[in-house]
Structure 1
Amino acid sequence: MTTTPHPLARRTGRVVVAVLTAALVGVAATGCGSTSQASDAPPTNTSPTPAGHAKGLPAALAQDGTTVVVGRPDAPHTVRISVDPQCGYCAKFETGGGEAVAKAVRSGKVKAEYTIASFLDRGETAGSTRAANALRAALEEGKFAEFQEAVFTAQGTEEAQGFSNAYLLQLASQVKGLRGEAFDKAVNDLSYKGWVEQSLKAFQASGETSVPSVLLDGKKVEDGDALFNAPDFAALLEKGGAA
């Protein structure tokens, strides 16, 4: 015997599908997930100069061995950030809300804890891995924050597609005091590839499925628009008592 679904059931099913579709579209509109391409913006021919908001910010490796802490370890508030170097939305965050984070870090009220993911490489050794390795090498030289700003500012340009080691070294030349024999060798030899893999595992273990993922004092920032605008993110930090 064939049973005809009640009209309400059919309507409810359509509503559920519509809600799920809207939710997925919302994720796609504000971050890079497992199905994203390496860059979500069309490439340009020029490499812009970093604004310099991260200049001089200190950074160190946390005791867990993967988290990079930018700012004073004893700062009263924490912004926890997960990014993939090849994610266009992460670049939008770092050149938008990241400016507000840097200002709050500089004031001593906030520390930024970074997890560098490289899942957009999809298991290969490609642009995300190479950039993450270079970021770790920059940390060793005391230039993590400045170099990260340079990497994300350049993201989306033609030369940045795939982040070759040669281009990463070119970007490093924008950061005074970063280039040197040890740094260049670490970039070319992928000396920190093991760290990159452990950092990716830490991101996967966090339960997050897309980047940028931003938490303020343990609470996830759900307002995607605020992530990409410095004044809006500064207002969000102020509302949370962190600015």
Structure 2
Amino acid sequence: MSDKRKPKSSTANSKYQPSATSSRTTYILGGVAVAIIVALIVGGLVWNNSQDDGGGVDEAVLSENAALIIGEPSAPQTIDVFEDFMCPVCQEFEEQSGTAITEAINNGSLRVRYHMLTFLDDRSASGDYSTRAAGAAQCVGTGEDKEVFEKFHTALFTNQPEEGGDSDLSNADMARLAGAQGASPQTQQCVADGARVTEATEASEQSRNQLGKATGGQVATPTVLSGGEPVNGIMDGTGWLDQLLNEQG
């Protein structure tokens, strides 16, 4: 996975018109003989994985399955950020902490491994938006520098479809959105073709398994890990990040 990065931008040229994000409703989805119970908690997502085999987080797996790793290898602090592009609370997390994270990356104090999970597909109009958006992020992450990835990452959250809504972004829409953030024609074609959806699905599964190891089987988005342990207070402003950086100072 290459080391690349960047800031924000907005939607330009997308046919999609974003709707207001859903209220913080709790959903529980269950079924007979299903080992994994999915619950949407205050707009975020929690999985209780009864098949978690315990053990510690594997740093190599986290590194290999990140959508992108941004920041210098020598940075004193590395975090893993787990998100789903359909998750409203992930959007809130990005609004609250995205700029601070970018600043810490740019000043050399932070390295971030982004993990895009895909279990909110059934809350999208197309039924596979989380997976397609994760695949689009893989295209941009592998084809562009870190700045274009960060802009595209931000733009997808800025244009987040409504949970349970009647529309979301098509691959063509996301390709145009990537182009508006500076992605090359080749990268835009990768997004339009959904060329990395399978890769994104496999990476999501591996990342979800590692997150389950860190949390004893409960997997939620957004989640931040530091040293393989969940970070508390990530939805309470940027104090969580200040504390991590001060500990390394």
Per the normalisation by structure 1, the TM-score is: 0.66
1:191 aligns with 2:179: no
Once the two structures are TM-superposed, the CA of residue 112 in structure 1 deviates from its matched residue by: 0.4
The CA deviation at 1:115 is 1.2
Whether contact under 8 Å (1:34, 1:120) holds in the other structure is: no
2:135 and 2:197 in contact (8 A); partners too: yes
Residues 1:101 and 1:217: Cα distance change in structure 2 (over 3 Å): farther
Cα pair 2:46 2:221 within 8 Å, conserved: yes
* CA shift for structure 1 position 192: 0.5
Change (3 A) 1:198 1:220: same
Q: Is the 8 A contact 1:83 1:116 kept in 2?
A: yes
Q: Distance in 2 between matches of 1:136 and 1:112?
A: 15
If each structure's helix is expressed as a fraction of its own residues, which one has the higher value? 1
Question: Could you report, residue by residue, the CA deviation over 1:143-191 in whole angstroms, capped at 9, with x for unpaired residues?
Answer: 2222111111222469995321132123223313x141x1222112111
Q: Secondary structure at the match of 1:205?
A: helix
* Whole-angstrom CA distance in 2 between matches of 1:201 and 1:118: 8
CA distance in 2, matches of 1:64, 1:175: 25
- The partner residue of 1:171 within 167, 171, 177 is 177
Q: Which whole-Å deviations, capped at 9, do the CAs of 1:185-228 have from their partners, x for residues lacking one?
A: 211211112211111211231205210110233331121432xx
Please say if residues 154 and 160 of structure 1, whose CA atoms lie closer than 8 Å, have aligned partners that are also in contact: no
Residues 65-86 of structure 1, C-alpha deviation per residue, up to 9 Å, x if partnerless?
3212111122121111111111
Task: Output the CA distance in 2 between the equivalents of 1:221 and 1:30.
Answer: 19
Q: Tell me how large the CA RMSD over aligned residues is.
A: 3.1
Q: 1:79·1:216 contact (CA, 8 Å) conserved in 2? A: yes
In the alignment, which of 191, 201, 208 is matched to residue 205 of structure 2? Answer: 201
* Higher Rg of the two aligned structures: 1
Alignment of 1:3-152 (within 5 A): 28-29=41-42, 31-34=44-47, 64-67=63-66, 68-122=68-122, 126-139=128-141, 140-142=143-145, 143-152=148-157
Distance of 2:158 and 2:166 partners within structure 1:
10
Provide the rounded CA distance (Å) in 1 between the counterparts of 2:184 and 2:166: 18
Bigger shift: residues 117-126 or 101-110: 117-126
- Give the direction of change, closer, same or farther, for the CA distance of 1:63–1:113 in structure 2 (3 Å limit): closer
Distance in 2 of aligned mates of 1:183 and 1:81: 23
SS in 2 for 1:115: strand
> How many residue pairs get matched?
186
Cα distance change of structure 1 residues 241 and 74 upon mapping to structure 2, 3 Å threshold: closer
Question: Aligned residues: percent identity?
Answer: 25
Question: What is aligned with 2:26?
Answer: none
SS at match of 1:209: strand
State the SS of the aligned residue for 1:32.
Answer: strand
How far apart are the structure 2 equivalents of 1:64 and 1:236? Answer: 23
Say which is worse superposed, 216-225 or 206-215, in terms of deviation: 216-225
Query: Which letter maps to 1:170?
Result: R
Residue ranges of structure 1 left out of the alignment (5+ in a row)? 1-26, 36-61
